[in-house]
Structure 1
Amino acid sequence: MDKKGSEPSEFSSLLLSTEPQGFGANDGVDFEGKRQTQASSIPTTLMFSTFVAVFGSYVFGSAIGYSSPSQSGIMHDLNLGVAQYSVFGSIMTIGAMVGAIMSGRIADYSGRRMAMGFAEVFCILGWFAITFSKVAWWLYVGRLLIGCGIGLLSYVVPVYVAEITPKNLRGAFTAVHQLMICCGMSLTYLIGAYVNWRVLAIIGIIPCLLQLLTLPFIPDSPRWLAKVDRLKESDSALQRLRGKNADVYHEATEIRDYTQAFQRQTEASIIGLFQRQYLKSLTVGVGLMILQQFGGINGIVFYANSIFISAGFSESIGTIAMVAVKIPMTTLGVLLMDKSGRRSLLLVSAVGTCLGCFTAALSFVLQDLHKWKEFSPILALVGVLVYVGSYSIGIGAIPWVIMSEIFPINVKGSAGSLVTLVSWLCSWIVSYGFNFLMTWSSAGTFFLFSSACGFTVLFVAKLVPETKGRTLEEIQASLNSYSSER
């Protein structure tokens, strides 16, 4: 391209005008799609790089899952009250907000790999602090450090995976982030039923070390390397990720041209994101994160045991049932991501979470009215399982997938930081307030969550674009063009 050539909006128009006919409908079939990656022959480097990255997702899940099985042991051993344990459960989200604020800048300046490494150092220090805690303050410090680490990981893992994968695999590969969160959470629930909370914290260190030791063996993101003008390294990384014999010329040229076009613009600060040009991307990214969290997920998974006890159901059976539903449904979501598309999965998921919360709320209403006493605990379990299963199939993973896809390279750091910060702020509000809401009204709490899930259905139907089958450059050009024309 001519260095004095078109502005990014002109480049977007050019890209949109030259895309294959029928673009965005169902395809994923394109010039490089068949040449460079067949589902039957995924390059080893791409598989290994994704696997290493999602160790961070497992760490994320184990941190979230830790507070539920550890609650009774920590409260007994350190003599903590409900309010103090609520601080412990929710302070991780404060740390995650700090990590989120730093995440975009660290990932932009030091690279995606280095950002994951920094995150794991925070997590390892945090797990050690919890393991050797004798007083509540050390617990809080450890949980805060883990929060900083997973705040970084929650941004950089899906962004890295989205940036290294071809478009026909990107949805499924990025959704593995949520699958590994689910695995980390579920295994922590199960292991926590049999081991002491200190031993559980030591076990939490293992996946952190695994990622830290394997990061040097994977390439950094070709798109980030192009952004920092390391073009030869970008081409080399892309070739490794697509396979020795793959023709990457078209994809490498598109990445380079699009990156250079947006690099002519000054990198936007968080305040600079509130421009017309980025309005749709920002609304979709932030809106999905708010609705994901206000649907109640962190309150439910942080305090699953106490929900089952309140409903009069066995906490151990309830927890095992949650794990039995969560992992298969998350796996199903991964398999469907690039077949059914993001929007349809989100809609099905949001309807399911709405019905699940409504069913759980109904069980607490019956309990308060002293009717169907034998039936209401089962109804609570069914409601929670429907909620968890529906959440796992779509709304758990897809907001992070879409967040990693919709922002152009010149604002990805700032936008990612803002979206991740909003997610963790809403998570803190829900996780801190959950016990107090349940004390106020168990039924009312789940009715509130059900209303938020119902609003999610409307939000997705009206505003969320389908990103299946498009390269990152095509998605961002489409959204940029939409904003410019409005």
Structure 2
Amino acid sequence: MSSQKNGAVAFMNPEETETQETQFRTRNESETCSSGFPGCQSDINRNKTRVRKETDKILESECSAFNGEEFKTRSQIILKMMYFFQVLPFYLLQFCSGMSVGYPSILVPQLIASNSTGLILDDSSKGWIVSLDYVMTALIALISGQLQTMFGPKKTSLLACFPICLSWFLMAVAPNMPTILTSRLLVGLGNGILTSSVYIVEVVSPDNRGSVVMIETAFRSLGMIFVYLMGALMDWQTLAWIVVPIPIVALIYGLFIPESPIYLSQRKGYTQLEDDAPPQNISWKETKHSLHHTIQMFKRREVICPLLLLFVVLVAQQCSAMKVIQGYAVEIFADVFSNEKSGVKEGQSVDTDAYWSAVIMGSVRLVATLLAAKYIRNFGRKTMYFLSAFLTIVFEIAFGFIDFFNLGARFKALPIIIISCQVFSLQLGVQTFPNLLSAELFPNDARARCKGLVRAVSSLMSFAMLKIFPYLETHFGLHGSFWTLAAILILSLPVIFIFVPEPKDISLDEVGQFFLPAKTIFYSHILSSEEIVTPTPEESFGRIRMIENCFGSAGRRIQADHRILLAEGMLSKKSHGKTRRRHFFLFNDILMWGSVLRENLNLIRQKIEKLENIQVEDIKGSIAWRIITPGKTFLLEATCEAEKLQWMMLIHYAKLGREKTASTQTSSIADTPKKILKEDPVIHYANIATNTSNLAVNQLYQMYENESIKKISKK
């Protein structure tokens, strides 16, 4: 039970309520009986009834308060805890993965400083230690997706426990370089299985998907912080012994969690709500069919398009220099702190400040990941990505100047601050989103295979970057290497902006529609009896959300409980002597259109007109009709007369059925973001920056469109 005071809810146990009721009842009885009248007992009964009614009234108001906001808040917390504990074994493995990524950064300097005869390092062997695991990751990731499709994401992902555990054991007892390289190969094998897994993204709801995946990245960051910290306190082999038990715990825990529901539903239609047992054995015939399906899969537009786009995103990820910083963090800081730009020398201990700088950098990465997990539900994927990319480029260039002018030797705090800011920036999007997008952009039947392929390509790129970087640093210097990476990152951004969709909050069943060509679709049908059959708001919900995402952060929110999508398609819009192709959307209360950067992917310059403000005039003998609004008049042209009549009739029926309450509902929705902005300054200022950049993009597109029209008119 609860009592409400000044809008707050305080909970009381039933005994307290009963005691208060008894005291209140006794006080009323004594007051009534002291009057001495014969009707005293009847007064007592009336007081009892009054107390009971007041108590019931209080309890009813308190229960309604609990069943509303309080219940919703508690249920969301419980749901997030369920997600967390269901994927906890994979979080533990991600912790090990983060340690394996940061481990070479403390291993290489310690090996150089030890000057051991059995462990002699040169530029070549140093590059192999840092990058060899990525070779194995690439190879295993190619078949990991196929294994997940055949045996399930959970079982396949838990296989990573064995090579990860064995790799750390070999590292702990390694007497020579071949053993160390073997350990790194096993690390790559485990990481290839783990990072190709689609288990986490398939067991959570769409609105929690981004946050749960970001927590996965947070555990990797924790692993890096741990290895940097322990590297300053102990030698590399003692540290390896500490990690050995973690994958064993993850394996035991993982045996008791359920399999992916999407995998179970695709395998013979099984769901965990049914009593049937899931399939256990895969026949050779099914295996051949699965392999054939994999080959045919890459011929589909909704598979090959996101695959190629993700390759561009991966190039941008490598150019953010995160892999370089992860693999050579201690060495980079030691070099930039030294006047000679060579902070790691044989037989000499490494500057302790270099280790602690790496710890600070890892901590900043963790904070950035947690912030991204918090705000990923408030911003689109692309909004955070481009904010991250812009800041990353700025700090990459700044770090190059610090190295060029050798400022780190005089001001040690300066390179630490700049690198930490760079890591913070790239962790908000450039570094983390390729993993998230690879789990979101592919259809259900292709997700596991494609994510494995994307991970393989990513690992090969990481291997190449880590292997080449020592030679780049030798020939161009640390500053020249960072400036080169920043330039390539800049060149990749226009492609990502135009062609990569916004999958935020989109169901995994519908995400493939982004890559299908735009076409005219009538969701409502007019019967011969002059009746119209329209979809329900629930049926329109998914597509309306995709349309919102196509307009991105520059567009207005159009999702509403009452809103129904009646039709959409590409139409020619003629006004002021200019003809332009626009994507039009007809709802039951508004007509909306936008300029097309890429069909079904990227729309800008959103325009909305309420249907009650629209008049429609037919232009006989043509495939065009006129739209008249209070502010403008323009012609719309379809591809054929039948399509034109369908558009005009649906607009007519929508105007007739327009509800007067629609405007009230729309205004209440428009007020929602304003309340959020007042409460959270991060969202407020980020939206200001986003709106400014969107305005600049719209102006650039307007200039480009006007120039194109001039060229066509001259011809």
> TM-score band, normalised by the shorter chain?
0.7 to 0.9
Deviation at 1:412, TM superposition (A): 2.1
Equivalent residue of 1:91, what SS? helix
**What whole-Å deviation, never above 9, does each CA across 1:418-438 have from its counterpart, x for those lacking one?**
111110000001111122222
The 5-angstrom pairing of residues 216-231 of structure 1 reads 216-231=255-270
In 1: Cα distance, 2:408 partner to 2:110 partner: 33
In 2: Cα distance, 1:268 partner to 1:205 partner: 36
- Per the alignment, residue 467 of structure 1 pairs with 503
Q: Do the aligned partners of residues 475 and 277 (structure 1) sit closer, same or farther apart at CA in structure 2, a change above 3 Å counting?
A: closer
Do 2:171 and 2:237's aligned partners in 1 also have CA atoms closer than 8 Å? Answer: yes
**What whole-Å deviation, never above 9, does each CA across 1:168-190 have from its counterpart, x for those lacking one?**
11111111121111111111111
In 2: Cα distance, 1:95 partner to 1:161 partner: 23
Q: Do the aligned partners of residues 113 and 373 (structure 1) sit closer, same or farther apart at CA in structure 2, a change above 3 Å counting?
A: closer
2:137 corresponds, among 96, 102, 109, to 96
Q: Do the aligned partners of residues 483 and 318 (structure 1) sit closer, same or farther apart at CA in structure 2, a change above 3 Å counting?
A: farther
Higher alpha-carbon deviation: 69-78 or 415-424: 69-78
The 5-angstrom pairing of residues 308-347 of structure 1 reads 308-312=333-337, 314-347=353-386
Equivalent residue of 2:377, what SS? helix
Structure 2 residue 229 is the aligned partner of structure 1 residue 152: no
Equivalent residue letter for 2:97: F
Structure 2 residue 150 is the aligned partner of structure 1 residue 125: no
Q: Which has the higher helix share?
A: 1
**What whole-Å deviation, never above 9, does each CA across 1:345-385 have from its counterpart, x for those lacking one?**
11111112111211111112212xxx79625x544323311
In 2: Cα distance, 1:145 partner to 1:306 partner: 24
- Per the alignment, residue 87 of structure 2 pairs with 50
Structure 2 residue 254 is the aligned partner of structure 1 residue 215: yes
In 2: Cα distance, 1:232 partner to 1:139 partner: 44
- Per the alignment, residue 416 of structure 1 pairs with 451
- Per the alignment, residue 99 of structure 2 pairs with 62
1:291 corresponds, among 306, 316, 320, to 316
Equivalent residue letter for 1:457: L
In 2: Cα distance, 1:216 partner to 1:408 partner: 27
In 2: Cα distance, 1:320 partner to 1:457 partner: 30
**What whole-Å deviation, never above 9, does each CA across 1:84-143 have from its counterpart, x for those lacking one?**
122111111111112211210121112111112211111111111211111111111111
Deviation at 1:308, TM superposition (A): 0.9
- Per the alignment, residue 689 of structure 2 pairs with none
Q: Do the aligned partners of residues 48 and 150 (structure 1) sit closer, same or farther apart at CA in structure 2, a change above 3 Å counting?
A: same
Equivalent residue letter for 2:509: E
Deviation at 1:61, TM superposition (A): 0.5
Q: Do the aligned partners of residues 140 and 265 (structure 1) sit closer, same or farther apart at CA in structure 2, a change above 3 Å counting?
A: closer
1:280 corresponds, among 279, 298, 305, to 305
Identity level (%): 21
1:79 corresponds, among 119, 139, 144, to 119
Do 1:360 and 1:382's aligned partners in 2 also have CA atoms closer than 8 Å? Answer: no
TM normalised by structure 1 equals: 0.80
Structure 2 residue 424 is the aligned partner of structure 1 residue 396: no
**What whole-Å deviation, never above 9, does each CA across 1:383-418 have from its counterpart, x for those lacking one?**
311211112222222111111011112222331221
Higher alpha-carbon deviation: 459-468 or 166-175: 459-468
1:302 corresponds, among 314, 322, 327, to 327
Do 1:405 and 1:476's aligned partners in 2 also have CA atoms closer than 8 Å? Answer: no
Equivalent residue letter for 1:120: C
In 1: Cα distance, 2:432 partner to 2:519 partner: 26
In 1: Cα distance, 2:366 partner to 2:448 partner: 31
Do 2:212 and 2:373's aligned partners in 1 also have CA atoms closer than 8 Å? Answer: yes
Runs (5+) with no aligned partner, structure 2: 1-70, 277-288, 339-352, 521-598, 601-715
1:140 corresponds, among 174, 181, 188, to 181
Higher alpha-carbon deviation: 444-453 or 275-284: 275-284
Q: Do the aligned partners of residues 167 and 304 (structure 1) sit closer, same or farther apart at CA in structure 2, a change above 3 Å counting?
A: same
Deviation at 1:481, TM superposition (A): 5.5
Equivalent residue letter for 1:290: V
Equivalent residue letter for 2:314: M
TM normalised by structure 2 equals: 0.55
- Per the alignment, residue 662 of structure 2 pairs with none
Deviation at 1:480, TM superposition (A): 4.2
Q: Do the aligned partners of residues 63 and 317 (structure 1) sit closer, same or farther apart at CA in structure 2, a change above 3 Å counting?
A: closer
In 1: Cα distance, 2:447 partner to 2:74 partner: 26
Q: Do the aligned partners of residues 284 and 197 (structure 1) sit closer, same or farther apart at CA in structure 2, a change above 3 Å counting?
A: same
Q: Do the aligned partners of residues 399 and 439 (structure 1) sit closer, same or farther apart at CA in structure 2, a change above 3 Å counting?
A: same
**What whole-Å deviation, never above 9, does each CA across 1:45-97 have from its counterpart, x for those lacking one?**
42211222222211211110111112232342443223212211111111111
Deviation at 1:321, TM superposition (A): 2.1
Structure 2 residue 490 is the aligned partner of structure 1 residue 454: yes
Do 2:319 and 2:486's aligned partners in 1 also have CA atoms closer than 8 Å? Answer: no
Structure 2 residue 223 is the aligned partner of structure 1 residue 184: yes
Structure 2 residue 479 is the aligned partner of structure 1 residue 438: no
Q: Do the aligned partners of residues 373 and 187 (structure 1) sit closer, same or farther apart at CA in structure 2, a change above 3 Å counting?
A: closer
**What whole-Å deviation, never above 9, does each CA across 1:270-328 have from its counterpart, x for those lacking one?**
x8525434232112322222321232211111111111111116313421321231111
Equivalent residue letter for 1:445: S
In 1: Cα distance, 2:509 partner to 2:134 partner: 32
Deviation at 1:213, TM superposition (A): 1.1
Structure 2 residue 150 is the aligned partner of structure 1 residue 115: no
Q: Do the aligned partners of residues 234 and 298 (structure 1) sit closer, same or farther apart at CA in structure 2, a change above 3 Å counting?
A: farther
Equivalent residue letter for 2:145: G
The 5-angstrom pairing of residues 21-60 of structure 1 reads 39-42=76-79, 44-60=81-97
Deviation at 1:232, TM superposition (A): 3.0
Q: Do the aligned partners of residues 451 and 38 (structure 1) sit closer, same or farther apart at CA in structure 2, a change above 3 Å counting?
A: farther
Q: Over alpha carbons, which structure has the higher Rg?
A: 2
Structure 2 residue 375 is the aligned partner of structure 1 residue 349: no
Q: Do the aligned partners of residues 404 and 38 (structure 1) sit closer, same or farther apart at CA in structure 2, a change above 3 Å counting?
A: farther
Do 1:222 and 1:235's aligned partners in 2 also have CA atoms closer than 8 Å? Answer: no
Equivalent residue of 1:268, what SS? helix
In 1: Cα distance, 2:165 partner to 2:430 partner: 29
In 2: Cα distance, 1:236 partner to 1:221 partner: 16
- Per the alignment, residue 362 of structure 1 pairs with 401
Q: Do the aligned partners of residues 231 and 354 (structure 1) sit closer, same or farther apart at CA in structure 2, a change above 3 Å counting?
A: same
- Per the alignment, residue 512 of structure 2 pairs with 476
Do 2:166 and 2:186's aligned partners in 1 also have CA atoms closer than 8 Å? Answer: yes
**What whole-Å deviation, never above 9, does each CA across 1:194-241 have from its counterpart, x for those lacking one?**
11111111222232122111111211110011122251337689xxxx
- Per the alignment, residue 550 of structure 2 pairs with none
Higher relative contact order, structure no. (Cα contacts within 8 Å, ≥ 6 residues apart): 1
Do 1:360 and 1:379's aligned partners in 2 also have CA atoms closer than 8 Å? Answer: no
